[in-house]
Structure 1
Amino acid sequence: MYQAIIFIHVLSAVLLGSFLILPFLMKPLFTCRREELHGFLRGIISYCRTGHYALVLLLLSGSWLVWHYSRSPSLLWTVSALALLFLLGATIGMIQRNFKRILRAEAPEDSLKANAQKLSIFNWSTFIFILVALIIMTNTRIFE
């Protein structure tokens, strides 16, 4: 059972870690034509939905691992880990919502340019949250 939970946990973490490339995908997004833009946006929206599923699996498998197979980490570590996962879910959700809004717009190219700064902030926030989560999650004794 332990190996199955570890596999799910690592697979979810790798999928979530792939969000580190999202800020770098924004530059080619601005050069897309309308048809390409629609396909690209649909792909990112699906990618964000998959990211939410990965977060849920990460939360469940991580909770299982801490509960059954580990010494109890500090309360501060637990709270910060949960807060980071919820912040990641929130920023990914905001990215997804903005891309859906852009996709439904009559002029998606103009809407993308109008929301570029907001999307950049969300993308870089997700990037930073993932890096901080990686540091905190791999060092359970960091707050002792």
Structure 2
Amino acid sequence: MFTQRAHGNWDIQLLESINVVLIKRGGAWNKEAALQYVDEFKHKIRPLIGQNWASVGYAVDYGLGVPEMDEVIKQLYQWMVKNGCVCQTTVVKSVIGAQHLSRMASVASDIYQLKFVHSPEQAVEFVETLGFQLPLEQLVQFIEKPYPDRID
């Protein structure tokens, strides 16, 4: 049986002391990449489960993905909200990218907020309004570091 190799880039950094997870996504994704991303994400944020936490994303380099990955990511966002995520803000460069991500990240909830912004400064401002103290320098350093190498 043929298994397709994952393609797409991502990085996930947990800032446990401030209850924030930083994520960045790049390239065009397939379902295999989405499945690997979900596994890594759930593993890394385990210390935050049971608390309120924020997710700050950077998707300026994101090249969308195949339709098969959408459901995988939708299920992840539902899981996130059930496990304490109260907001997701993502830096995007295009309306099309924001629309695609919005279809996957929208979750019906009284406490969860979703917002797309155009700069890291706006992302930090948004999470600060919800009580999360994310230093701008920390977000910028995360964005600027290279994606990790992934070897299958």
Between the two structures, name the one with larger relative contact order (CA 8 Å, sep ≥ 6). Answer: 1
Give the TM-score of the pair, scaled to structure 2.
0.28
Structure (1 or 2) with the larger CA radius of gyration: 1
The structure whose residues are more often strand, as a share, is 2
